[in-house]
Amino acid sequence: MKRMVGLLALIFWLWPAGLAARADTHALTSSSRFYMDQERKTEGELWIAPGRSWTKSGNRILISREDLGVMWSIDPGRGSYMEFPLKETEPAAAKAQADMRKLWLDYYLPEYDWTIRDTGETKDISGFPCRRFEARGEADFADIKAIYWISESPNVPGGRALRDYVLGQIKEDRQRAGQAKILSGRANAFIVLREETIENSIAPTMIQKTALIKLEEAPAPAGIYDLPAGLKKIEDRG
């Protein structure tokens, strides 16, 4: 009897820790994009687990699986999906060989010089205490002005996972290098609100805003990181 009581006590103390270990990061966002006198609003949802992620934006779903080395782009409305490798497998020499028939498709990718400023201004957004940072990226024929409201509250459930996920997503994005600079030097930082005004060299100005509405740790829905059955695979034709 004493042994049984001891086992029950051990299960009781280990059970909460087990739940915490299995909990994934869940976030809800609201975004808008103003471009060519038109505004488009979308709601987003994100689930993050080690080596896996599930993202929904508008009517598109992206599932990333590092263990399988693939990412699936799903169109639920059409019942189809496309599959992409997470790592580039094409030899560097082949990539360097230009296709003269497609040179006209190339576009200017500016190298930005970034200036970051901590304004010291603070306020609460979506229940998170935030600090305002400003970033400006300047390049020939292009300019980016951005405002980032950053929360650095330690021990926020899902905060560190969200920061690491965002850094992984933007590490190759020149237009988000200012954002990466801010997050990289702050272990507990995650973005609650971002506003970006992008003045392109050969396209109209675009204004983007994304707000974090909810952030939590919770058990993910069963099978959410798996490719749904019954979808038709569409090949990427470049």
CB distance 212 to 150 below 8 Å:
no
CB distance 211 to 44 below 8 Å:
no
Residues 82, 233: Cα–Cα separation, whole Å: 6
With vertex at residue 64, the alpha carbon angle to CA 186 and CA 144, rounded to the nearest 5 degrees, is 45
Residues 7, 86: Cα–Cα separation, whole Å: 44
Buried b (16+ CB within 10 A) or exposed e, 137-158: bebeebbbbbbbbbbbeeebeb
Q: pLDDT tens track of the chain, all 238 residues?
A: 444 334 333 333 333 333 344 589 999 999 999 988 898 999 999 999 999 999 999 889 999 999 999 999 999 999 999 999 998 644 444 444 444 444 434 455 788 999 999 999 999 999 999 999 999 999 988 899 999 999 998 889 999 999 999 999 998 898 899 999 999 989 999 999 999 999 987 788 999 999 999 999 999 999 999 999 999 999 876 5
